[in-house]
Amino acid sequence: MSVYKKCYKCKITKGIDDYYSNAYKKDGLSDECKDCIRVYNKTKDYKAINNKVLFSGNREKAIIRDGEKCVSCQMTRNEHFNKYGRDITVDHIDGNGRNTPLKLRNNSISNLQTLCLSCHGKKDIKRNKNSNKLSYADFLKIKELISSGVKGIEIARQYSVSSALISYIKNNKINYEPKEII
């Protein structure tokens, strides 16, 4: 793999350390450099659309209610942005979030909580493990689809799991024994 990549947005060739990892991309890196992503994530348009469409306008309210920090590990919103280059996440406590049709989502403020990416991913993994959504055979099939180049978001939708879980599987942060269920 090359140690340099050209940013899709600013067209500047930069080292791979200047890009975030992205499980959905063939090279495992985002198309835009960290600087361009930081600029985009600060725009009001991005935040407004994300808040209105995905959370019925309650995303920002939940973040403010939770003191602008992860309710699990206490990472602040600013620390999160500096570490991940994006805003802190908001989780649907009942699990009916991103992979659930809009009409079935419970976007009430009482069903939302602020989580950092790490805690959100861990929660999704635990939820999937407890709900037995994936068998070991599904886990192996997901590994196969990842290695054949299928986009992570497509796999997540097919198996009704979070993209964070697919990223963890891709990066070998999860490894299960044949009898264990995710």
Task: State the sign of the Cα–Cα–Cα–Cα dihedral 74, 76, 77, 81.
Answer: negative
DSSP 88: P
State the pLDDT at residue 169.
85
Main-chain dihedrals φ then ψ at residue 6, nearest 5 degrees: -95, 130
The residue-averaged pLDDT of 96-124 equals: 85
* Any domain includes 37: no
122-162 tens-digit pLDDT: 887 776 655 555 677 888 888 899 999 888 888 887 777 77
* Any domain includes 124: no
* Any domain includes 107: yes
Instruction: Tell me the three state secondary structure of residue 90.
Output: strand
In this prediction the pTM is 0.52
* Any domain includes 127: no
For the chain, the average pLDDT equals 82
Q: Which residues pair with 112 in a beta bridge?
A: 92
How many domains does the chain fold into?
3
Q: Identify the CA nearest to 96 among candidates 52, 54, 135.
A: 54
* Any domain includes 123: no
Task: Report which listed range, 65-69, 103-107, 142-146, is most confident.
Answer: 65-69
Shared-domain flag, residues 106 and 142? no
Tokens describing residue 167: 């990223």
Shared-domain flag, residues 139 and 72? no
Task: Report which listed range, 6-10, 62-66, 158-162, is most confident.
Answer: 62-66
Confidence band, pLDDT 50/70/90 cuts, at residue 171? confident
* Any domain includes 179: yes
Q: Are 4 and 15 in contact (CB under 8 A)?
A: yes
Shared-domain flag, residues 112 and 146? no
Say yes or no to pLDDT of 1 above 60.
Answer: no
* Any domain includes 181: yes
State the pLDDT at residue 175.
66
Say yes or no to pLDDT of 178 above 60.
Answer: no
Which residues constitute the domain of residue 83?
Answer: 42-117
The residue-averaged pLDDT of 115-121 equals: 90
Shared-domain flag, residues 95 and 70? yes
